[in-house]
Amino acid sequence: MASTVVGESKAQPETKSQKGAATRDQILNAASRLIHVQGYQSTSLDDVLRESGVGKGNFYYYFKSKEDLGYAIIDRIRRAFIERGLGLAFADADTDPVGQLHGFFDRVLDSQRQRNCVGGCAIGNLASELSDVHEGFRQQLSGIFDVYREYLAEAIRRGQRSGRLRSDADAGRVAQFLVACLEGAILLGKVTRDITIIERCVEELKAHLTLYRMSA
């Protein structure tokens, strides 16, 4: 029987599928950076190729067109927002939902503060730019906002079921209001480069949520 040395391992060569996934991610990373700042329509395929360092032939191996790339970027944004944003903020079903909402607002604020309001919200940017000119993109982006609203609405419903929040509040309407306020604040912060706008909005949203708390 051959002996095995614990802790000893040989570097495995990168497989073709791994290399392919890395190239695809390289294209998506470059395109996402460009589109987040300058928009989808102002970002050309040549811009993406230059930023990513990938040749045109490789690009067309992974994406049929710039439109196909656009769908992939929207899907990537959706998955990242759910997994690293909404999913983390509302993962614990036993935590005070109002505290979770406060924490989510603070994450949004901190993200904008770290970037000095540059770039705004990736989802909001694409929605503003593309909703009137590309129906397929509009539907995909609308779906992301539906998920966004539903995560917040479910947190409110959990608060109602646990007796922490008033049962007569319409969770869906409250959640829609919260999303609209946050997105509007991010947009204003982006155009003014003034983080205090988002800070004040977060303060007001927290104060607004006290209207739905059950009296002690």
| pLDDT of residue 143 exceeding 60 | yes
Please give the pLDDT value at position 4: 37
pLDDT reported for residue 16: 56
Give the integer Cα–Cα distance in Å for 190 and 212.
30
For residue range 154-196, what is the model confidence (pLDDT) as tens digits?
999 999 999 999 999 999 999 999 999 999 999 999 999 999 9
What is the tens place of the pLDDT at every residue in 27-43? 999 999 999 989 999 99
Given this model, what pLDDT does residue 165 score?
A: 95
Residue with tokens 């309407």, as numbered in its chain: 173
Residue 90's contacts (CB-CB under 8 Å, 6 or more residues apart) are 97, 100, 104, 151, 154, 155
Q: Is 215 helix (H, G, I), strand (E, B) or coil?
A: coil
**Pair 73, 144: CB distance under 8 Å:** no
pLDDT at 44 over 90: yes
For residues 141 and 127, is the Cβ–Cβ distance under 8 A?
Answer: yes
Q: Give the length of the chain.
A: 216
- In one-letter notation, the amino acid at residue 183 is E
With a CB cutoff of 8 Å and minimum separation 6, the contacts of 29 are 52
pLDDT in tens, 80-102: 999 999 999 999 988 999 999 99
Residue with tokens 């700042």: 37
| Angle of the 122-130 helix axis to the 171-192 helix axis, nearest 10 | 90
Beta-carbon count within 10 A of 152 CB: 25
Nearest to 186 by CA among 97, 107, 124: 124
Contact 185, 201 (CB under 8 A): yes
